[in-house]
Amino acid sequence: MKKITAAALLAALLVLSALFGACAGETGDGQTNTGDGTSPEVTTVPETESLYDANGYLKDKIPDSSDYGGITVNLLACSGQAKQFYVDPDAALSGDALKNELFTRMTTVEDRLGIKLNFIMEPGSWNEREAFIGKVDAAVKNGSGDYDVVIAYNLNPPVMATNGLLANLANAPHLDFSNPWYATGFTDTVSVDGRIFFAVNNADYGSIRNMACVMFDKSLTSRHSIADQDLYKTVISREWTFGKLRELIAGTYEEANGDSKKSYGDIFGLAVVDAPRLDSLFYGAGLRIVGKDPDGTVVMQMGDEKVQNTLEEIVDLVYKTDDVYGVDTKMYDMFKNHQAMFYVTPIAIVDQKLDFDFGVMPVPMLNADQKEYSTYMSNTHESWCVPAGVLTYDVATDVIEAFGSYAYRGIAPLYFETMLKYRYSSDDSASQVYDIIRADVVFDFGYMFGNSFSTNPFVLFRTQVTNQATNWTTLYKKYSANFDRELGEIISKLAGQQG
């Protein structure tokens, strides 16, 4: 009886409450009144604009209302890198999805910013670097304003920055290096006293295709009873090291060209594309030319004992093992010709439309103590910058950010997610390995600014490798004082610039 009475009382109270609310609080149109015949003010909460676009990608900070009135933006561009960012209308209609996407980016940026892009193509790769830098130097010094944006071979902007030829991008109103189309750690690596003089877009075709990796030929790994899944598990479990590679290639050399000696034309367990690709082994070991002390001071790091150990490991692996074919100008064809089971190469080799089954792995770590992989980006990607004193700074930096933003939401999904991870991945594990390679991309101030030293520190190391010389500690002592002094001069020049 007590339970029934309580339930009845509760029901009665609910009914009375509903009746009271209907009489004193709710009008026929669903609004609430105050009981005295007047209605309270209706507060409208403004709808917050989403930080993400309709496809879930983070937006950039360039306002939708941006319109520069149809002005022409002149871009001095390295012709040797052009295929990575420029496509003419005819090529865009060729049926190639990537070319179409690159062309669409150009027209989208034009429409979005209300500009016309004018690409001025000039040779500017390694052999033409001085002439290319000279064009920027002349434009800055005579104030001609010939170029609003410079798209350069990646080793050129650091030299231009040291020479005071580039504007500080950190002042740009809409360019944000915390956005996901820039590599994690990029700002910390290249900034000096808050100044950043060039941008490397981590989502672009040029950046992705130049990531270093180790490809493997499945026809050769299966011949030696090495399963794809075992290789992928080795990577994912962070057990992919120089030692593991050495173990896998042991005894894989095969005489194939009939000359009864180890030579080109035979089949090897490992090959390296060319001498510059040896750089990826240095970075794979977790090394850097320049780093920062805990207090943020920029310092040389090549005197570390680990550099000596790594040099010995690389020389021994590449030149002292029968199962490895040392660096040679013919190396570009070895993987395509099924002469190398493992192949140290940029991912760009897939653009050659390989017609056989292959897999991909990161460059191995020096040893298991390292914990994380390090992906070197080959020095054939482009960097974006703005000449010092340019009168079109805002539109120039918006162009850089708009190109990068589009790469993140258009080019990377096509080239990396669809073409690489889907077309060249037979299973989820392979796709996961591609993610590891890209997530671990590293930049090194010392490598990028190497040509601002009287002796390039990395070329010094690479020469020791190709000469099969392992006396790094002794050699470095001869250069260390000059390296320290010149690094300090580079930092002072960058920190002392206007802007």
CATH number assigned to the domain comprising residue 400 = 3.40.190.10
CB 488 within 8 A of CB 162: no
Are 185 and 307 in the same domain? no
> pLDDT averaged over the chain?
89
321 has pLDDT over 90 = no
Strand partners, 377: 211
Cα separation, 170 vs 499, in Å, equals: 9
Q: Do residue 160 and residue 218 come from a single domain?
A: no
Sole residue written with tokens 């290249």:
190
**Cβ–Cβ contacts within 10 Å for residue 272, how many?**
27
Report if residue 44 sits inside a domain. Answer: no
- Same domain membership, residue 224 and residue 192: no
Q: Which residue has the higher pLDDT, 8 or 64?
A: 64
Looking at residue 31, what is its pLDDT?
Answer: 37
User: 283 and 375 in contact (C-beta within 8 Å)?
Assistant: yes
Please tell me whether residues 384 and 367 are part of one structural domain: no
- Are 172 and 250 part of one and the same domain? no
- Extract the runs of DSSP E, i.e. beta strands, from 23-141: 71-78, 115-122
- Of 356, 354, 372, the closest CA to residue 364 belongs to 372
- 15-24, 87-96, 219-228: segment of lowest average pLDDT: 15-24
DSSP for 275-333 reads GGGGHHHHHHTT--SEEE-TT--EEE-TTSHHHHHHHHHHHHHHHS-TTEEPP-TTGGG
In a domain, 388, yes or no: yes
pLDDT for 42 beyond 70? no
Q: DSSP string covering 139-168, please?
A: HHHHT----SEEEEETTHHHHHHHTT-B--
Q: Identify whether 399 is part of a domain.
A: yes
pLDDT digits (tens, 9 = 90+) for 400-409: 999 999 999 9
- Which residues, including other chains, have CB under 8 Å from residue 457's CB and lie 6 or more apart? 289, 300, 302, 446, 450, 479, 483
The span from the CA of 228 to the CA of 327, in Å, is 26
| Close Cβ partners of 350 (under 8 Å, ≥ 6 residues apart) | 209, 419, 420, 424
Question: Helices (H) and strands (E) in the chain — how many of each?
Answer: 18, 11
Pair 413, 348: CB distance under 8 Å: no
Residues 187 and 254 grouped into a single domain: no
353: exposed, middle or buried (Cβ count in 10 Å: 0-12, 13-18, 19+): exposed
Cα dihedral across residues 240, 242, 247, 248: positive or negative: positive
Give the contacts of 383 (CB within 8 A, at least 6 positions apart). Answer: 151, 152, 153, 154, 156, 157, 198, 199, 200
Could you give the 3-state DSSP secondary structure of residue 7? helix
The Cα 32–Cα 43 span in angstroms is 13
CB 136 within 8 A of CB 62: no
> What pLDDT does residue 330 have?
67
Kind plus residue range of the DSSP H or E element containing 218: helix 218-223
Q: Would you say residue 2 has pLDDT above 50?
A: no
Q: How far apart are CA 365 and CA 283, in angstroms?
A: 9
pLDDT per residue as tens digits for the range 465-492: 999 999 999 999 999 999 999 999 999 9
Say if residue 85 is in the same domain as residue 191: yes
Is residue 494 in a domain?
no
Residues 228 and 359: beta-carbon distance below 8 Å: yes
Tell me, yes or no, whether 2 lies in a domain: no
Question: What six digits make up the tokens of 309?
Answer: 């150990």
306 burial via Cβ count (<10 Å: 0-12, 13-18, 19+): middle
In a domain, 103, yes or no: yes
* Residue-number span of the structural domain to which 229 is assigned: 212-376+445-482
Class of residue 46 by CB neighbours under 10 A (exposed 0-12, middle 13-18, buried 19+):
exposed
Identify whether residues 222 and 265 lie together within a single domain.
yes
The mean pLDDT value for 220-234 works out to 96
Looking at residue 428, its pLDDT comes to 78
Q: With a cut of 80, say whether residue 149 has pLDDT above it.
A: yes
User: What is the pLDDT, as a whole number, of residue 108?
Assistant: 98
Name the domain count of the chain.
2
**Radius of gyration (C-alpha) of the chain in whole angstroms:** 29
Same domain, 292 and 406: no
Q: For the segment 173-206, what is each residue's pLDDT rounded down to a tens digit? A: 999 999 999 988 899 999 999 999 999 999 999 9
The answer to whether position 263 is within a domain reads: yes
Does residue 340 form part of some domain? yes
pLDDT band at 3 (very low <50, low <70, confident <90, very high): very low
CB 189 within 8 A of CB 444: yes
Q: How far apart are CA 113 and CA 399, in angstroms?
A: 8
Higher pLDDT, 30 or 317: 317
Same domain for 409 and 278: no
Same domain, 120 and 226: no
The strand pairing partners of 270, in sequence order, are 324, 342
Residues 98 and 116 placed together within one structural domain of the fold: yes
